[in-house]
Structure 1
Amino acid sequence: MISLVPFLTLGARRQLAMNGLANLDLLNLFPSSPDPRAYYPATSHERVAQNILQDIANGNPFSLVLGDAGSGKTLLVQVLLERLAELPQVVFIQHGHFDSPDAILKAILFDLGIPHQGLTLADLRLLIADSLLNNFAQGGPTLIIQDEAHLLAHSVLEEYRLLGNLEAGRKRAAQIIFLAHPLMEITLTAPELVSLEQRLARNFLKPLEAIEAVDYLLFHGRLAGFLHPLFNQTQLNWILSKGKGVPRLLNHFARVVLQGRQDDQDSLDACRTSPSAHSSETLSWEGITGPEVRLLTKADWNQSAK
């Protein structure tokens, strides 16, 4: 039996995160794509956010955020960008399908709004160096965020290392944050990437613990101003077991339950129609109890809001 009483200290963080947010309707209660309005300040996510902010403040040229699919890497960066509004220039490369140095340099220049057609690789390098140094002179380093970094070719990662070496005085003209699946660790064992591997500050996004996963679901209900019980105990156990503490999976299975309710079906039966719901595993988090579980399953939300 797991008690949720010690975790009620997250209430203060929940309230801070909810300030200024518009209500979401039922269909958007658990969004399927990253939405900064619905960011939940999980312990692991906030720790990584603080580490990245510290890396930037210290002038570190490289940071690496590792997390499984659906762990919230992209959402975390979107929230970080709001906290880094004073940076002179931010480049966000949202995919990793680049197989050559010139391809990634063109993508960065495009995001910076700089014409680059018909240039050789040598010309591209000179142009981007000049642009980064100009940005630095106007106020500070350019922050380059590369999503899906585990998909990048080795030559592209090496090109990033060269960009991170670009100095302006004693500081770096560019700071680079890689977002990647843990498979990136295997990629970095390549001999030609040893120099980059040694300089990467690693940060790991961990799945939510069972208690925090319940709080995550409760947070989204509060965010939408939902005034009725969200799930019965069986449905809650099912969502937690299938979600495995991964935010995207928790959202998916919570939506399936709520969609079943909207369609006037038995919600747990609706869950079982989901292709990803079929599994022989038993529920591993049954028996979770405490005030926050009661809020999710049978408490009066009108009373709890007073």
Structure 2
Amino acid sequence: MNGFGDYIQYFGLREAPFRLSPDPEFFFPARPHVAAKEVLKYGIGRGEGFLVLIGTAGTGKTLLLRMLLQELDPKKQPAVLLSPAVGPEGLLHLLLEELDADDPGVQDRGILLKRFQDAMLDLAEQGRELLVVVDEAQNVPRETLEQLRLLSNLETRREKLLQIVLVGQPELEDVLADPALGQLTQRVAVKEVLRPLSREETAEYVAFRLAKAGRGDMRLDRRTLDRVYERTKGIPRLVNRLMDRALLMACAAGKGRVGTREVQESGETVPMPAGVVAEASRWRRAAALAVLSMTLLAGGFVAGRMLQADTGEQAARPAVAREAKAPGGDVLRVVAHRAYVRSGPGKAFDPVALAAAGQVLRAEGRQADWWRVAVHGSDGAEIPGWIHDSVVSAREDAGSGAKKMDR
């Protein structure tokens, strides 16, 4: 084996398909990642104060964040804090540095707060808003998180001056459960959890990466893909490490593709963090329970639900859809993990409700690939809307002898 670059040339690849750097060009649109990105994007667009993204190490949080930042409204000014394990004064210095308004010599918190408030008002006069992204938020001291909550109170008569996205590993759940942070937790409008890839998604991920690098024709057999999944438990970073080494070994052996032997040997030479793999299994079980809960509790809570702010006012959000009970028409069952009900027949229309997996809706008409439905919001009021055909399964309602039309 002559080196890393040789396997790229040997296999006729344009570039390394499994490099670890978070490249948006290699973003794999797995269902949990796309759902999390869209919900966070929606929350940011609505001006929600606090948003939370949680995921086991290696599940793709950093790449998802890069995708989000690429798609930000130009009026949003991002401030990404990568080393947040600082006190309140350190936090203010980091934020002021992002706003080009820092003075390292100032340590008085009151003066720093005044500087920050002035900088935020200047930003508002320019028609812009600050989006603070705190990475590895599970390491942020409690006192600093409380300072963030206080900063979120800054607002004009019409709108808040900043939004805050907390990104972290599962330990962040425990941090936010601290009763001392109750006021902050009440302001969390969106919380999304990234789960590892399923067995099928892992196979699709490997094929996607190979195709992006120029070898869409390189197919791994089922046994090999199963071995990749068993070794990595669907954590993208671990898949990348394993497959990168397996390609090297296949190149050294003069083979045309990766097989079970290369995956097995790579797994022995590339240590897989046992704690991370165990955590992935725990989150997969938790995700399955969450889906079951959403199925059983129609009109109840859904992942990423909007919580009531501590002002007592209900945050603007899509309603949680309850099952409609109008007679006649087709019966639709939601087959996606979560689905938007929109105000019109197209993705350009705003969401008016969120429907959970397994929920039953009554169709009142159809236009192309969109079903017209009526759902009930959490307050019991009927909400007219549209839902896409791809996220539901339909059957004709004909009493007890209903004829199934599931696709």
TM-score (norm 2): 0.59
Deviations 1:225-281 (A, max 9, x none): 1165253444322211112121111111111211212333762353143242598x9
Structure 2: give runs of 5+ residues left out of the alignment.
1-11, 255-260, 278-407
Tell me if structure 1 keeps the 8 A contact 2:55–2:193. Answer: yes
Residue 56 of structure 2 is matched in structure 1 by 68
1:57 and 1:268, CA in 2 relative to 1: closer, same or farther beyond 3 A? closer
1:33 is displaced (CA, Å) by 2.3
Matches within 5 A, 1:263-282: 263-264=252-253, 267-268=262-263, 270-276=265-271
Tell me if structure 1 keeps the 8 A contact 2:76–2:128. Answer: yes
Deviations 1:43-88 (A, max 9, x none): 1111111111111122111100011101111110100111115134
In structure 2, distance between residues paired with 1:154 and 1:54: 28
Tell me if structure 2 keeps the 8 A contact 1:67–1:73. Answer: yes
Q: Secondary structure in 2 aligned to 1:172?
A: coil
Q: Which structure has the highest helix share of the two?
A: 1
In structure 1, distance between residues paired with 2:272 and 2:64: 27
In structure 2, distance between residues paired with 1:132 and 1:115: 13
1:153 is displaced (CA, Å) by 0.2
Q: Secondary structure in 1 aligned to 2:75?
A: coil
Tell me if structure 2 keeps the 8 A contact 1:48–1:205. Answer: yes
2:244 to 245, 255, 266: 255
In structure 2, distance between residues paired with 1:53 and 1:269: 40
Residue 182 of structure 2 is matched in structure 1 by 194
In structure 2, distance between residues paired with 1:143 and 1:152: 18
Residue 193 of structure 2 is matched in structure 1 by 204
1:244 to 233, 257, 281: 233
In structure 2, distance between residues paired with 1:244 and 1:267: 18
Tell me if structure 2 keeps the 8 A contact 1:67–1:180. Answer: yes
**Which protein is bigger by CA-based radius of gyration?**
2
Deviations 1:122-178 (A, max 9, x none): 111111111122112212311111100000000110111011111122311000101
Tell me if structure 2 keeps the 8 A contact 1:271–1:277. Answer: no
Q: Which amino acid aligns with 1:215?
A: E
Tell me if structure 1 keeps the 8 A contact 2:231–2:267. Answer: no
Residue 113 of structure 2 is matched in structure 1 by 125
| Percentage of identical aligned residues | 29
1:164 and 1:24, CA in 2 relative to 1: closer, same or farther beyond 3 A? farther
Residue 77 of structure 1 is matched in structure 2 by 65
2:21 to 11, 26, 33: 33
In structure 1, distance between residues paired with 2:203 and 2:47: 37
Q: Which structure has the highest strand share of the two?
A: 2
In structure 1, distance between residues paired with 2:263 and 2:58: 23
TM-score (norm 1): 0.78
Tell me if structure 2 keeps the 8 A contact 1:30–1:252. Answer: yes
In structure 1, distance between residues paired with 2:55 and 2:216: 34
In structure 1, distance between residues paired with 2:217 and 2:101: 52
Q: Which amino acid aligns with 1:175?
A: Q
Aligned pair count reads: 257
Residue 101 of structure 1 is matched in structure 2 by 88
1:268 and 1:43, CA in 2 relative to 1: closer, same or farther beyond 3 A? closer
Structure 1: give runs of 5+ residues left out of the alignment.
1-22, 282-306
CA RMSD, 1 decimal: 2.3
Matches within 5 A, 1:76-225: 76-98=64-86, 100-119=87-106, 120-200=108-188, 201-225=190-214
Tell me if structure 1 keeps the 8 A contact 2:76–2:129. Answer: yes
1:74 and 1:130, CA in 2 relative to 1: closer, same or farther beyond 3 A? same
Tell me if structure 2 keeps the 8 A contact 1:101–1:159. Answer: yes
